[in-house]
Structure 1
């Protein structure tokens, strides 16, 4: 694929930071952010629209992404970056500012999968998979959601039965990011005792009998991310490939808590991207003899957009501080995701409005953010699910059932 340069500086970072939160960053955190920002501006944004419209994953970017040495984020040891939670969040934000599909790929491969192996795997399992995943020699997929179990995935029906020195997996999964191209796919299933575990389907040596994955087509969001329907028909894996620390759904929730923190930063990235494009456009676009940025209605929108973004930045930074201190609970991650998903959705909608008719054209980038935010608003728990998690925390009463 031949890259094309952005049509103007609209596609480059403007450095939105109204409350100077950069003052709180370390030199290392700034360096990581700037490294990823350069990759986004020079490699990702110029091809994002093409791959989004074609509904193809940009494999050409895997090698330069690997060279950033950010896969795995805050995972320490086994060849992983071991960066701070703040730096990990900044990586997610910068990637989402460029393209939601690629940011979600990072959140699945380097976030959900590598973090789950780190939190729940044995030392042997970590050493077996993490170094090669950090170098992107192996790509990861996370198979939790099922056709009949989304918000109530705790009731998952995929089964795992023990047969000698092997586990046998049967069931169906849906909306599985990297499910067709993942070399290491964590399948969450219920064993014969009723306990939920993470079973690593290692496809690095070739296709496994019974593992059937097909790309979901017809999406209007995150089109360049390949999500799959997976049918597991007697898939056999070694007994040792069940994650050693994954014995109940509470263990699964550890991975989801970490993931929801990443998705909060992802919403922030979409909001910043849409806002920066809208602001630059408003300064350039003239109507009635002057730039539309000089009209009261446009300035009112931009001010409200910036207000949402600033609140999201402060929430995400504090969430990362709590993560580094080991003080994050599922309720904290839920509140952050609740705030950023709804806030970023508003920001993207206002950006699309400021661009008028041009707001539905990929050339101006806002249309892609506007569409992709619909995925962020839904995955890793819908807005309603997040609100119930927070509601349970503040009232002490469970409203899920």
Structure 2
């Protein structure tokens, strides 16, 4: 008997260092996260303050960034770490993605040297938590329509608006907030650093979620928030700045979603081998084996694509539409695998005793955030036809 990864000889494509990183993260996930994830999911909570320093100690926060206390690992290594975290739960990988690929990347790419020195070492260690405020109640797939505004008032900025669906929002020490500003009569999107406790800045944790329950999600509100001149990320100019950060997060999802799919497959194969139906194991039936074979095939193809994109990213030649292709494929196939696995588990598949429906619920969000499946289809369509169908 082989595992789904052995079926495609995935290990042969990894370096010794990459295998060791994957092993280390998997061990941490198994010992520290997996024993509690069902309870966290059921309770709709996640102990971010407690877990973040442990993730930082492993070098997982901003691990693909260089300097300022960051690990400086390869893109492929980061992807493999995301895969092991999401094999436990998408909420855990989301916390790491938002911290490293969104908030820390924004500061690393667009912040001043003072910003980097102040925040990145603390965030890399998990002593400070960050969030990324782009999405608004009425503007998700069209972030360019955002209503949040920052206006000059002498040397200061006055920030007004709101953000929604913000991971880590209510526990963040620093929020990277994107707002429309005016520069020489033109509207320009810029990023601002807003520390927790700033007068006029409030957060509200969102509840009643059916997905990503083991993740902190919040609304951010800004009412005449006065920020000093140096709160702006000086190198951020235009919507391309936050979109560059989103591309980093999407890359992690290319690997991460497959971790959820792999966990569903592993769980289901073990269940099918031990569950007896009509006096023989469920795994011995042709229909069951056909389902498992098809799912393993899609997982393997997704894994090979993810590794290919990782190598391209490490070479500095990956294109945005290629990451879109990976995100679209991984999320779409992962949720299909989770749903199909549930059918093999039957009634047992709807309980928290097994991970498959929890993963399926989470993947509903992963399919949507960092660009919906439809948005990525249009990204690919534009690349193939050179015609913009967004408007």
Tell me if both proteins adopt one fold, taking TM over 0.5 as the criterion.
yes
Q: Extract unaligned runs of 5+ from structure 1.
A: 1-13
Q: Which residue of 2 aligns with 1:197?
A: 190
How far apart are the structure 2 equivalents of 1:222 and 1:96? Answer: 11
2: CA distance, partners of 1:64 / 1:17? 30
The aligned residue for residue 54 of structure 1 is: 43
Equivalent in the alignment of 1:6: none
Q: Deviations over 1:119-175 (max 9, x none)?
A: 222222212211110000100101100001011112111001122332211001110
Aligned residue runs from structure 1 range 7-86, under 5 A: 16-59=5-48, 60-86=50-76
Helix, strand or coil for the counterpart of 2:258? helix
Q: How far apart, CA to CA, are the structure 1 residues paired with 2:234 and 2:24?
A: 35
Query: 2:182 is paired with a residue of what secondary structure?
Result: coil
Identify the match of residue 109 of structure 1 among 90, 99, 106: 99
Corresponding position of 1:11: none
Matched residues in 1 for 2:144 and 2:253: separation? 20
Question: 2:341 is matched with which residue?
Answer: 351
Report what 1:173 is aligned to: 163
Shifted more, 113-122 versus 374-383: the winner is 113-122
CA contact (8 A) 1:331 1:389 kept: yes
Deviation, 1:264, is 1.4
Who is 2:123 aligned against?
133
Check whether the contact 2:91–2:214 (CA below 8 A) recurs between aligned residues: yes
Aligned equivalent of 2:257: 267
Aligned partner (choices 73, 80, 84) of residue 94 of structure 1: 84
Q: Is the 8 A contact 2:60 2:96 kept in 1?
A: no
Q: How many residues align?
A: 385
Q: Secondary structure at the match of 2:380?
A: helix
Q: Are the equivalent residues in 2 in contact too, given 1:17–1:310 (CA < 8 A)?
A: no
1:153 equivalent in structure 2: 143
Match of 2:321 among 290, 306, 331: 331
Task: Please identify runs of 4+ aligned residues in structure 1 that moved more than 4 A.
Answer: none
2:219 maps to 229
Distance 2:234 2:7 in 1: 45
How many Å apart are 1:34 and its aligned residue?
0.8
Structure 1 residue 400 displacement after superposition:
0.5
| Post-superposition offset of 1:100 | 1.2
Indicate yes or no: 2:213 matched with 1:220: no
RMSD: 1.2
Query: Structure 2: how far apart are the matches of 1:73 and 1:200?
Result: 21
Q: Which TM-score applies when normalising by structure 1?
A: 0.94
- SS of the residue 2:161 aligns to: strand
Does residue 241 of the first structure (1) align with residue 231 of the second (2)?
Answer: yes
Instruction: Give the Cα separation in 1 of the matches to 2:226 and 2:22.
Output: 41
| Structure 2: stretches of 5+ with no match in the other structure | none
TM-score (norm 2): 0.96
Q: What's the CA shift string for 1:291-335, capped at 9, x where partnerless? A: 101111111111111111111111111111111121122211111
Shift of 1:15: 7.0
Distance 1:311 1:328 in 2: 18
